[in-house]
Amino acid sequence: MSKELGKKRGTKLGIGLAGFGTVGTGVWETFQKNAELIANRSGVEVDIVRIAVRDITKSRAEGVAAEKFTTDWNDVVSDPAVDLVVELIGGTTTAFDIVAAAIRAKKPVVTGNKALLAERGQELFALSREYDTPIHFEAAVAGAIPIIKAVQDSFVGNRIESMTGIINGTSNYILERMTEAGLGYEEALGEAQQLGYAEADPTLDVNGWDAAHKAILLATLAYGFTIDYNQVYVRGIERVRAIDISFAKSLGYVVKLLCVVREHDNGMIEIRTQPSFISQNHVLSSVNGVFNAVAVNGDASGESLFYGRGAGKGPTASSVVADIVEGSLGINHGGSHRGFLPYEDKGQLMPIEDTETPYYVRFDVTDEPGVIAKIANTLADAGIGISGTHSPVNAENPDADFVDMVFQLHTCKFGLLKSTLKDIEKLDCVNSRPVVFRIENIV
């Protein structure tokens, strides 16, 4: 950051907020409560001088002067009293305009907008480099867990070999209730909505994209190049059913929506998000409710686990405030750039077809002689090994003509499995599309 922007230590910095909803009010309340503590620890004093909102008549947090509010975000960015801009409105359109305008005005940006950075980060990071003005985004991943700073700073001396995480609390809560209380998917989702853990429209949570956006940001930090989100494999929890939860438990696993980021020996980067089987003995299996956890494996550090609340007013505001302090320190001291800048011109993502794990595959089949042999022969012809087969007895209808048949498969490439399953679907005894879960061997 250019030195002419620097201010003397102790100078109160002006903060502009774009958005004053749950997180925005949390940021205001945190500074009202802990301003002296923050100043004593960091030497940073701030004043929230301008706040952009959609509806200026809406009731707000107590103690906020009416003259601070505006319905035009340009008033925030252009105000000469604003030194740092905080974007908290969400989305990828107006939010992009706000962040881009702030960078062009050489005002550091703090954002918790994972979708914006995952989908349009390439443009914004290019602007950040051009104007030498940082973007701070700790709040974009895992709420109060300081995973961004850890990957960016604490692991600076490591090659990140892998990161494996549970980073969507809504899906994690739904899967926990299906596992522990025996609820069906729709029932567990409804409960999550009633408790405020899921939005009225929970699409981005349950279809995996909220978690995937966060995984993309972590991968961007770890490997230094911007990632095209269109190339990332994402599946959600919508097709998880009670029978899969039950099978997982009986086989010694739990089902979690898991984000996997991994560097391979050939330099390719694997990024994927999907419901997966993980061992009941692994520490991630005990991450329940709306909590998040990320396991980071560095070549020097070994494995470290980060755990905490992944969302909510207080946890997210905590990370936003930390970034405001970080950005303010950069302004105060000048000459340093503490936000993220890509440091590699390019990288290569591993095609999802080339990724390898063992698998759980459930088939809806007609109960007739030879079913196992037909499926097994097709798998064998493709060179895919079988580690076990299972078929539950339907106590409610033991004479049913249709049953669920489960195959546990040895490690193979996902592309080979997909093409083989297409052949198996053509068998007369298979009644619907097979259900596939990866069995993760987490280090």
Where does 14-131 have alpha helices with state H?
22-42, 73-78, 94-104, 114-131
Q: What are phi and psi of 283, to 5 degrees?
A: -60, -30
Tokens encoding 28: 């205001």
| Helix-helix angle 185-194:169-180, to 10 degrees | 120
Tokens encoding 146: 């300081």
State the amino acid at position 361 in one-letter form.
V
Asked if residues 293 and 306 have their Cβ atoms less than 8 Å apart, the reply is: yes
Asked if residues 163 and 261 have their Cβ atoms less than 8 Å apart, the reply is: yes
State the amino acid at position 368 in one-letter form.
E
Place of tokens 């198996």: 424
Residue 105's SS3 state is coil
Rounded to whole angstroms, how far apart are CA atoms 98 and 86? 9
Radius of gyration over alpha carbons of the chain, in Å? 24
Active site residue 214: yes
State the amino acid at position 150 in one-letter form.
A
Rounded to whole angstroms, how far apart are CA atoms 18 and 84? 11
Place of tokens 């280090």: 443
Which of the 8 DSSP states describes residue 58? S
With CA atoms as reference, report the closest residue to 440 among 171, 211, 258: 258
Which of the 8 DSSP states describes residue 233? E
Sheet architecture: strand order including 69-70: 69-70, 45-52, 12-18, 84-87, 109-111, 135-136
Catalytic choice (214, 256, 313, 413): 214
Tokens encoding 87: 């974007």
**Environment class of 106 (CB within 10 Å of its CB; exposed 0-12, middle 13-18, buried 19+):** middle
Asked if residues 144 and 319 have their Cβ atoms less than 8 Å apart, the reply is: yes
Note the Cα 186 to chain centre separation in Å: 22
Q: Give the residue numbers marked as catalytic.
A: 214
